[in-house]
Amino acid sequence: MRSLLSSLQDFDPDKNYVAAIIITTDGSTYRKTGAIMLIEQSLKFWGLLSGGCLEGDIVARSQKVFARQKDQIIKYNMRDEADMLWGMGSGCDGEISILLKYLPANQQHFNFFFSLKLLNSGTSLYLLLDLKNNHQIRFEPQANPDIKISDSDALLSIPLNAPHHLLICGGSPDVPPVTAIANQIGWKTTVIDHRQDYADKNKFPFADHIEHIKRSAWKNFELHPFDSAIMMSHQFERDQAYLTRLIESPIAYLGLLGPTKRRDKLLEQCGTQFSEHEGRIFAPIGLNIGADSPETIALAIISEIQAVLNDKQVGFCYRDPTR
């Protein structure tokens, strides 16, 4: 999704585009149904539908879509070992069908870019693709209780999730690597600190927001936009203040630096204990990957949040029976 959202920087409302959307897969494929790649009429593109082996051909085939102004479905059989490009060269062993959906400027691109802007601002959507009726597309907010979404032979519903938003409480020197990795995978980050010199935008080039939040202002700081929060102030008193309020919020993941003794003491000061929050509060924070530097600790933190929020039991890929 990060690549698609980056297209907004170059979006030209007067140009035509093609959205390449995976509509079916069978067997092992790099991306699954619902993955999207965007192509502009100059053939610049955003996003990947494979590890790089299909994109050139997809872009080349989109030229006919631009010329004919008509949708097209293309298929790749990566099981054919006689085909060195799609078979043995791709590293996959499956079949994939891709819709090349024409997005004309004179039809406002069927609200595709308007929807990307909503997505970028924090509104999660469904892309609804009518497979039987000229591949018509429309977008609906995921939060709309009146929308009943289910896939069928005629309708493909593709969830488009807004970028994950991570709140980092504390602007310590070990925070920049966290914001850098989060930015690389398309997350948004907000860094707050009660110390004016720690809330310095120049120290966090990859953070989306850096705010100086005084102690007295923390109780009124808006928590609604955030999906996860980590406390990295390295100050017991501040982490206690952060944690006391964050426990009462709907934020799904809360992470704390430091050993278990520190965690338990913090929770005791908050009037609770770890057993009541296991699975939501993670401390010591991060996956056990042997992290021993700010950069590897940041990797461990981001990896843990990714696993928890996707309800994954972390392990080696080769031990995953679904891979």
Residues 179, 123, single domain; the answer is no
Q: Are residues 111 and 177 in the same domain?
A: no
Q: Is residue 323 part of a domain?
A: no
Asked whether residue 321 is assigned to any structural domain, the reply reads no
User: Within this chain, do residues 85 and 189 fall inside the same structural domain, yes or no?
Assistant: no
C-alpha distances out from residue 258 to 80, 197, 255, 264, 283, Å: 53, 23, 10, 10, 7
Report how many domains make up the chain. 2
Same domain assignment for residues 103 and 248:
no
pLDDT at residue 215 in the model = 94
Judged against a pLDDT cut of 50, whether residue 143 lies above it is answered with yes
Do 18 and 37 have their domain in common?
Answer: yes
| Gap between the Cα atoms of 45 and 17, Å rounded | 9
Indicate which CATH number applies to the domain containing 252: 3.40.50.720
Cα 19-21-25 angle, rounded to 5 deg? 165
Burial of 243 (0-12, 13-18, 19+ CB in 10 A): buried
Check whether 317 has a pLDDT greater than 90: no
Name the residue with higher pLDDT: 110 or 95.
110
Give the model's confidence band at 119: pLDDT under 50 very low, under 70 low, under 90 confident, else very high.
Answer: very high
Q: Are residues 140 and 175 in the same domain?
A: no
Same domain, 124 and 258: no
User: Helix or strand or coil: residue 260?
Assistant: helix
Domain annotation covers residue 318: no
Predicted pLDDT at 2: 77
| C-alpha of 162 from chain center | 7
> Of 32-36, 143-147, 176-180, 230-234, where does mean pLDDT reach its minimum?
143-147
Q: Which of 102, 131, 160 is the last residue of a domain?
A: 160
pLDDT digits over 208-258, tens only?
Answer: 999 999 999 999 999 998 999 999 999 999 999 999 999 999 999 999 998
Same domain, 154 and 203: no
What is the distance between the alpha carbons of residues 152 and 161, in angstroms, rounded to a whole number? 21
The answer to the question of residue 322 being in a domain is no
Task: Choose one of 160, 180, 207: the last residue of a domain.
Answer: 160
CA separation for the pair 283, 272 (Å, rounded): 15
- For residue 88, pLDDT over 50 is answered with no
Give the confidence band of 94 by pLDDT, cuts at 50, 70, 90. confident
According to the model, what pLDDT value does residue 226 have?
Answer: 95
Q: Are strands 125-130 and 155-160 parallel, antiparallel or unpaired?
A: antiparallel
- Answer whether residue 317 is part of any domain: no
Do both 221 and 273 map to the same domain? Answer: yes
Q: Looking at the structure, do residues 86 and 177 belong to the same domain, yes or no?
A: no
- From 160, 194, 219, the end of a domain falls on 160
Mean pLDDT of the chain: 89
Q: Is the pLDDT of residue 93 over 80?
A: no
42 and 51 in contact (C-beta within 8 Å)?
no
DSSP 270: T
How far lies 33's CA from each of 119, 254, 289, in Å?
A: 19, 31, 31
Cα dihedral 12, 18, 24, 29 sign: negative
Q: What residues make up the domain containing 78?
A: 2-160
CB 41 within 8 A of CB 7: no
Instruction: Fill in the DSSP letter of residue 273.
Output: -
- pLDDT over threshold 50, residue 86: no
Q: Please tell me whether residues 155 and 211 are part of one structural domain.
A: no
* Whether the predicted pLDDT of 318 surpasses 70: no
Q: What is the pLDDT of residue 17?
A: 96
Q: Is 254 exposed, middle or buried (0-12, 13-18, 19+ CB in 10 A)?
A: buried
pTM of the shown model: 0.84
The answer to whether residue 267 sits within a structural domain is yes
Q: How confident is the model at residue 320 (pLDDT cuts 50, 70, 90)?
A: low
pLDDT at 167 over 60: yes
Residues 6+ apart with CB under 8 A from 5: 116, 119, 120, 163, 186
Retrieve residue 130's tokens.
Answer: 């009518």
pLDDT band at 3 (very low <50, low <70, confident <90, very high): confident
The answer to whether residue 181 scores a pLDDT higher than 90 is yes
Write phi, then psi, for 105 (nearest 5 degrees): -65, -35
The answer on 170 and 156 residing in a single domain is no
315 found inside a domain: no
Please check whether residue 85 lies inside any domain of the structure: yes
Q: Which pLDDT score is estimated for 91? A: 54
DSSP three-state, residue 192: strand
- Between the alpha carbon of residue 308 and those of residues 42, 157, 287, the distances in Å are 40, 24, 10
Per the listing, tokens 């009541």 go with 276
